[in-house]
Amino acid sequence: MFGRLLWKLLRSNRGRLAVALVAVISGAAVVSALLTVELDMSRKLTQEFRLLGPNVVIAPKGSTQPSIGAASPTLMDEQAVFPVVQQVSSLNIAAVVPYLYFVARVNQTPVVTAGTTIGEAIRSEPTWKVTGNIPTADPRESGVGRNVARQLGLAAGSQFDISYGSRTEHVTAAFVLDSGGPEDNQIFTDLQLAEGLTGLNGVELMQIRVNGTSQQVTDEVAKLAAALPRYDVKPIRQVSAAEGNLLDRTRLLVLSMVVLILALTALCVLATMAALATERRADVGLMKALGGTITRIVGLFLAELGVLGAFGGVIGCLVGVALAGWMGRRVFGTSIQPRWEIFPLTIALMVVVAMAGALPLQRLGKVKPAVILRGE
Amino acid sequence: MAPLVQIENLRKEFDNVRALDGVSFDVQAGEWIAIMGPSGSGKTTLINILGGLDTPTSGRALVDGTDVARLDEGGLAQFRAEKIGFIFQQFHLVNYLTALENVMLAQYFHSTTDEHEAREALGRVGLADRITHLPNQLSGGEQQRVAVARALINSPKLILADEPTGNLDEANEAIVLNLLRDLHSEGHTILMVTHAPSIGQMADRRIDLAHGRLAAIEHAVRRV
C-alpha cells in the first residue's frame, strides 16, 4: 500500500512536482557537470601545462641561471647526467634538452646563441611557432628568433656566418622562431657546432619535461636532487606553482558553485513543498482521523521527495554528462570523460536536497483533524 | 457489563465559548444512539472528543475503557485506528485515491492492507463495480457508502457518524440509513449526530443537546 500511495501522491501532484523535478534535474545536471569538470580538471590542466614546456631544470650547483657568454661558465656533462635521470625518474620523461649559451657575432652584431639539440628543444616547447623546417641531421642548420631575423634581415632558408672569437661557421637559418619570449632574440645552433665554436665541452643546463601533476613533479625533483648531489635540480616554478594555484582556485570556484546550486535547488523544492503542504492539510487531517501517525504520514511525503530527488538526480546526471562534454569542448577545447563515480554522489546530494525541501511539512504535524474536518 | 462509552461531566470550551457543559451519559455496546440538537449545541464537539479528534477541557470520556483525554498524539492515533470508525457529512475521501484505495487507506493506518477484504467491504455497500472509481466519479451517495465501508473495514468498537445523510438526496439517504441499520443489527455500536427527527427515531435512544448541555435525558425512541 505504501508504494501504491506513493505512486498516487506523485501522480496527483505532478504539475507542482514537475516544477521541483525540473529544479532537481537542472541542479543535478550542473552539479554533476561541474564535479566532472573539477575531477577531470587536474588531468586536463596537467595536459594543458605540459604545453608550457619543460618543468625541471638541472644545472651545476650555484649556476642555474644561464651565464650567457661568461668567460668561463660552469659546465656539466649531459651524457653523464642523462642516464641518472632516466634511472631515477618514475615518471614519463617527455624531453631532455641541453643548453650551452654564448654570445656569438653575426655580421659583427652580437647575438645570444644557444647550442642545443634543436629538434628536441622545439618538441619540448609546444607553444613555439616555427616558420620553416626543423633541422634533422645537418648540424649546420640553425634557427633564428624573429627579432634577430628582423634585425639581421634573415628569413627561413637564409645563410649566414656565425663567429665566436676567431672561429666562424657558415650556417643556414632553417627556421624563424616566434616564442613570444627571450628566445625571439636568440640564435639556435646544433650543440656540437656550438661546442666547436666556443671550444667548450659540456652544457650549462638541462631542461627536462616530465609528465605528471604539480605534486608529482615536485616529488620527482626531490628524487632527482637526491640522486644528483652535485647539481641543482629545481622545478620551473612559474609552471608548477601556477598549475597548483589555478587548480586550487578552480576547485574552490567549482565547489562554491556546487554549494550555491544545491542551495538554490533546495529553495525551489522548498517553495513547491510549502505550497503542497498547504494543499495537503485536508488529506493530512483525514489521515490523522483514520489513525495515521504524523511520522507515518510525513514518511509518505518524504518518500515522495526521495523519489523526486533520486529520479531527478539520475536524469540530471545523464544531462550532466552532455553538459560536461559541452563545457570541455567550449572551455578546454577537448573532450571530458564522464566520471561515473560522480553519479551516486550527485544522486545522494539531490535526495538530501529534496529532503531539505520537506521543512514546510513540519507544519503538517500541527494539523488538528477536528479543525480540518470542520472545513476550516 | 460495563458500558462501552462512559461520558462523565464532559466540558469543552473554545475561546471562552462553552461548547459542552457537564455532559454525562453512558452507551452500552450494540446501542444505536442518535445525538440531536440545534446547531451549536455541541453535537459535533461531543463526537470529536469521543473519536479522539479533540480533547475535553475537563471531565472524562471513556471508550472501551480508554480515557481519551489522557492519550498522547501517538495514543490517540492508535485509538482512532483501532477503535473508531468515522462517517462524516462531507464524506472526506482522498480525491486521488480510488474507492478501493480509500478503504485500504484505513487498513494501512490500522495494520496491514488486505485488498480482498476491502473489495468485500465495498461489495457489502453495493459498490463492487465501482472500486476503481475516483471520488469525483462517484455520486454523493456512493461516496458516503465508500466512507461507510472505510469506517467498517477495521471492525471498530464504535462507529461515529456526524450527519451521515446531511448531504444526500432522499434515495441515497435511505441507502445509507439501511446500511447503518444493518450494522446495528449486526451488533455494532453507533453514535450518530443528526438534525432530522425521522432519522433520530431509528436509533435505540436519543440524546438531545442544547447549549452544550444534556437537554433531554435518554428517552426511548421508536425503532423503525
Output A53 or B129, whichever has higher pLDDT. Answer: B129
Number of neighbouring beta carbons within 10 Å of residue A132:
19
In B, minimum Cα distance to A370 occurs at B53
Question: DSSP code of B131?
Answer: T
Q: What is the pLDDT of residue A150?
A: 93
Contact A2 B94 (CB under 8 A): no
**Residues A78, A249 contacting (CB under 8 angstroms):** no
DSSP letter for each residue of A56-87: EEEEETT--S--SS-SS---B-HHHHHHHHHH
Q: Which residue of B has its CA nearest to A280?
A: B94
> Residue type at A17?
L
Helix axes A294-327 and A281-289, enclosed angle (nearest 10): 140
Q: Are strands A231-235 and A56-60 parallel, antiparallel or unpaired?
A: antiparallel
What pLDDT, on the 0 to 100 scale, is given for residue A13? 78
Handedness of CA A148, A150, A152, A153 (dihedral sign): positive
Q: What is the mean pLDDT of residues A201-226?
A: 84
Radius of gyration of chain A (CA): 33
pLDDT tens digit sequence for B163-195: 888 888 888 888 888 888 888 888 889 999 988
Q: Residue B156 — left, alpha, or beta (φ > 0 → left; ψ -120 to 50 → alpha)?
A: beta
Q: How many CA atoms lie within 13 A of A67 on its CB side?
A: 18
Query: Do the strands A141-145 and A167-178 form a parallel or antiparallel pair, or are they unpaired?
Result: parallel
| Arithmetic mean of pLDDT over chain A | 83
A303 to chain B, minimum CA–CA distance in Å? 16
Q: Do A287 and B105 touch (CB under 8 A)?
A: yes
Q: What is the pTM of this model?
A: 0.65
Nearest to A290 among B54, B101, B109 (CB): B109
Phi/psi for A247 (5° steps) reads -60, -45
Please give the distance of CA A111 from its chain centroid, rounded to a whole number.
38
A170 backbone dihedrals φ, ψ, rounded to 5°: -100, 120
User: Looking at residue A5, what is its pLDDT?
Assistant: 83
Rounded Cα distance, B170 and B154, in Å: 28
Pairwise CB contact (< 8 Å): A293 & B104: no
Chain B nearest-CA distance from A4, in A, is: 9
If one counts every other C-beta atom within 10 angstroms of the C-beta of residue A33, the result is 26
C-alpha cell at B82: 483501532
Evaluate whether A118 touches A135 at the Cβ level (below 8 Å).
yes
Helix A14-50 to helix A342-356 angle (10° resolution) is: 140
Q: How far is CA A308 from the centre of its chain?
A: 34
- Chain A contacts of B143, Cβ < 8 Å? none
Q: Mean pLDDT across the stretch B19-41?
A: 88
| pLDDT confidence of residue B221 | 47
Q: Are A45 and A217 in contact (CB under 8 A)?
A: no
Question: pLDDT (tens digit, 9 = 90+) per residue, B44-92?
Answer: 899 999 998 888 899 999 998 889 888 888 888 889 998 999 888 888 8
Q: What local confidence, expressed as pLDDT, does residue A373 receive?
A: 75
Write out the three cell numbers for B186: 449486526
Taking CA atoms, A146 is separated from A151, A153, A187, A193, B121, in Å, by 9, 10, 9, 21, 96
What residues contact B178, with CB distance under 8 A and at least 6 apart? none
Residues A150/A184, Cβ–Cβ less than 8 Å? no
Q: Which of B53, B74, B113 sits opposite A289 (nearest CB)?
A: B53
- At residue B136, does pLDDT exceed 80? yes
Is the pLDDT at B106 greater than 70? The verdict is yes
What single DSSP character describes residue A237?
Answer: H
Best of B43, B78, B97, B116 to substitute, by most chain A Cβ atoms within 10 angstroms, is B97
Residue type (1 letter), A271: A
Chain A residues close to B44, C-beta within 8 Å: 374
Cβ proximity of A210 and A89 under 8 Å: yes
Q: Which domains does chain B have, with CATH numbers?
A: 5-220 (3.40.50.300)
**Residue closest to B190 by CA, chosen among B150, B146, B144, B152:** B152
- pLDDT classification of A376: cutoffs 50, 70, 90: low
Residue B202 burial (CB count, 10 A): 22
Answer yes or no: do A293 and B77 touch at CB < 8 A. yes
pLDDT of residue B224: 43
- Residues 6+ positions from B26 with CB-CB distance below 8 Å: B3, B5, B6, B7
- pLDDT at position B223 is 47
Q: What's the average model confidence in pLDDT over A6-24?
A: 83
Interchain CB distance below 8 Å, A4 and B101: yes
Among A77-86, B23-32, B44-53, B82-91, the least confident range: A77-86
Distance from CA of B64 to the nearest CA of A (A): 17
Query: Residue length, chain B?
Result: 224
In angstroms, the CA A372 to CA A289 distance is 10
Cβ pair A120, A97 in contact under 8 A: yes
For strands B205-210 and A92-106, give the pairing: unpaired
Q: Assess whether pLDDT exceeds 60 at residue A370.
A: yes
Pick among B50, B57, B63, B80 to test the A interface (most A CBs inside 10 A): B80
pLDDT value at A111 more than 90: yes
Of B207 and A333, more confident: B207
Contact present, A185 and A145 (Cβ < 8 Å): yes
Q: How does strand A186-190 pair with strand B5-14?
A: unpaired
Which residues in chain A are contacts of B167 at CB distance < 8 A?
A: none
Q: Cell numbers at residue A216, please?
A: 608529482
Residue A282 grid cell: 485536508
Of B34, B12, B8, residue with least CA distance to B21: B12
